Amino acid sequence: MMPELRSGARRSKRVDDLYPTPQPIDQGDNWLQPAQNRTRRRVGGGRGRGGGNATAIAKGPSQAVPTRPTAAGRGRGIRLIDLDPEPCEVLPEAVALGAAEPLYNQVEVVADIGIGMEGGSADKVNGVEEEASATPVPERVKVGNSPVYKIEKKLGKGGFGQVYVGRRVSGGTDADAIEVALKFEHRNSKGCNYGPPYEWQVYNTLNGCYGIPWVHYKGRQGEFYILVMDILGPSLWDVWNSLGQSMPPNMVACIAVEAISILEKLHLKGFVHGDVKPENFLLGQPGTHDEKKLYLIDLGLASRWKDASSGQHVEYDQRPDIFRGTIRYASVHAHLGRTGSRRDDLESLAYTLIFLIKGRLPWQGYQGDNKSFLVCKKKMSTSPELMCCFCPAPFKQFLEAVTEMKFDEEPNYMKLISIFESLIEPCTLRPIRIDGALKVGQKRGRLLINLEEDEQPKKKLRLGSPATQWISVYNARRPMKQRYHYNVADSRLRQHIDKGNEDGLHISCVASAANLWALIMDAGTGFTAQVYELSAVFLHKDWIMEQWEKNFYISSIAGAANGSSLVVMSKGTPYTQQSYKVSESFPFKWINKKWKEGFHVTSMTTAGCRWGVVMSRNAGFSDQVVELDFLYPSEGIHRRWESGYRITSMAATADQAAFILSIPKRKLIDETQETLRTSAFPSAHVKEKWSKNLYIASICYGRTVC
């Protein structure tokens, strides 16, 4: 038997694990019955904005910079066929607000094979459209007070920009370098829609930050925005290739401690990088004092983890239609569309280090529209032991430490650096300089002993065994009569429902496991009449439309593994219009569109890997959010609870669990909500809950963690 795990709003007893989520493509609407009333929803965008994406500013071994694919629209992934990492940011499309629309119930039942999760190439998904303009860059460049530079060889191209070597031919002082890197971004590129690239704003704050190359001048000349930057040497990707696609552990340990130091300084400035990978770490110019010094480039996807005005950590959010980073190295939270924070840079660094040693990560090779979904699922299901086999122990320790961090947790950079000390060679033998790590302090070992003595054991956020369990949600209610039935065969449904109706009960929620049904019936629904259909067709369109015409609205749904479904429709609901969708992946794009039209999710279910989602107008909610994960999004649910949200719908497949959390328009007298995860139907716990006036509000069977 798997352990039974509980958690409660504002008084959780356990912090569990996190999950990823996929997304679909919209189908055309079928229109039915009239309705009225519009509800408005606060809609929040993703944190940060990826503007220009700097290609590697490299001199030395040529750097393969794959051509960036065409931009995906909001909620669409990029069709991927290449295997080499390229960055990207998938952002949602703008949806027209207030557009005139027929006041009818809507059915969207053509199952779409949607994007399992926003994705890009092996690697960078940046909602980017490669600038197709053939406008040649100018032969000579002068921006602001800069010297005049003559354009020489091209260093790279990717994303929005092109990078060239620039040689100083006139003007300037002895302090101005003879050779610089010139990054050009066309004014019509997507990153320059509203003026200079976003990256410029980041450099305004970070210029001079340890490990970040200097930007000496910037400005516009003709059709291009231009950055004049330090010219650097080969990337770690180049070095890795030159070493036979595998680096020795002592070299990677030096990279690890210096990269942690660079990220620490970056984070102290209030930013996260958002695209940590081998291609974005460069060494200094060969033959110079800095040839072994490590630099971090490409700030196009950087975002703030700390609010510039208040100094507080940015708020947690999850938008499954937004992905920022490079698929191969992105954190699982980035795949899931969660707001970026310091833990994400460190998780991406862990994958980078393992890649440099082993030459391959377990999720390389996935192709297709749902690539990001598959990669995220693989990342969450691959244990640190398996991922770090054949790597020295410190790399596994580092991976475990960073994947267990909470959203707003401050990393213990000193402790993370100390993990690799046993692999660091004497100064004269180090292949990479570790100046930043040495500045942490010569007494780091003694400090670490004190830190470890004071630390309390941390609850694990993500490590655990994937499981399939019952998930039940309990709300505080005034005392009322409630009844449950489970393991109900098709032939016994009518008997239980008729008996409940005779006793004044109506169905409040339904679920399915192993093709058997679970029914919750109670006296507090407020329904005046109810009909149901058990159909071999998942969410039988014709029957639903027929009941809509009779002024019944969908109040609960359940799907079975064999594809059948149980649909319950009621009178006496507050709803004035409904729409539902069947999709091969979680339809966040569609949900987001309907939110903007005044709908809210009121029921969800799954049948196998298919999702069915019902949205209604006048549902009584002022705001609504989604928590989607491949395990169980305990941290996200607890954060939402703390912000006043309560779970109002949930569903799960064998791979994923999705929770809809809402803020009611009318404040509840008692906001207590608890969840329970059990291997068997929670019949042994329901009476205990009833004794505390906690009643089953929602139930489903599917993916969790134990």
Residue 658 · residue 586 · CB < 8 Å = yes
pLDDT of residue 622: 96
Average pLDDT over residues 387-411: 96
> Does the structure show a pLDDT above 70 at 126?
no
Dihedral sign from CA coordinates of 405, 51, 264, 85: positive
Domain span(s) for CATH 3.30.200.20 in the chain: 140-230
> Does the structure show a pLDDT above 70 at 706?
no
Give the lowest-confidence range in 246-255, 475-484, 684-693, 696-705: 696-705
To the question of domain 234-439 being in CATH 1.10.510.10, the answer is yes
pLDDT of residue 176: 86
Torsion of CA 158, 163, 164, 167, to 10 degrees: -170
Average pLDDT, the chain: 82
Among residues 275, 317, 369, 629, which one is catalytic?
275
Average pLDDT over residues 618-639: 95
Domain span(s) for CATH 1.10.510.10 in the chain: 234-439
Neighbouring residues of 144: CB distance < 8 A, sequence distance ≥ 6: 217, 218, 219
Average pLDDT over residues 103-117: 50
> Does the structure show a pLDDT above 70 at 72?
no
Give the lowest-confidence range in 194-198, 636-640, 682-686: 194-198
pLDDT digits (tens, 9 = 90+) for 156-191: 876 668 999 999 999 888 888 899 999 999 988 887
Measured distance CA(217)–CA(224) in Å, rounded: 14
Which of 506, 472, 431, 501 has the alpha carbon at shortest distance from 236?
431
Is 275 labeled as catalytic in the residue annotation? yes
| Element containing residue 325 per DSSP (H, E) | strand 323-326
Q: What is 140-230's CATH superfamily?
A: Phosphorylase Kinase; domain 1 (3.30.200.20)
Of all residues in the chain, what percent are helix, strand and coil, respectively (each to 5)? 25, 30, 45
More confident residue, 386 or 467: 386
Q: Is 552 exposed, middle or buried (0-12, 13-18, 19+ CB in 10 A)?
A: buried
> Predicted confidence band at 119 (pLDDT cuts at 50, 70, 90)?
very low
3-state secondary structure of 369: coil
Residue 621 · residue 575 · CB < 8 Å = no
pLDDT of residue 104: 67
| Element containing residue 607 per DSSP (H, E) | strand 599-607
**Percent of the chain whose predicted confidence (pLDDT) is above 90:** 67
Three-state secondary structure string covering 382-406: CCHHHHCCCCCHHHHHHHHHHHCCC
> Predicted confidence band at 667 (pLDDT cuts at 50, 70, 90)?
confident
Tokens 């961090």 belong to which residue?
405
> Does the structure show a pLDDT above 90 at 114?
no
Torsion of CA 279, 283, 285, 286, to 10 degrees: -110
> Does the structure show a pLDDT above 50 at 45?
no
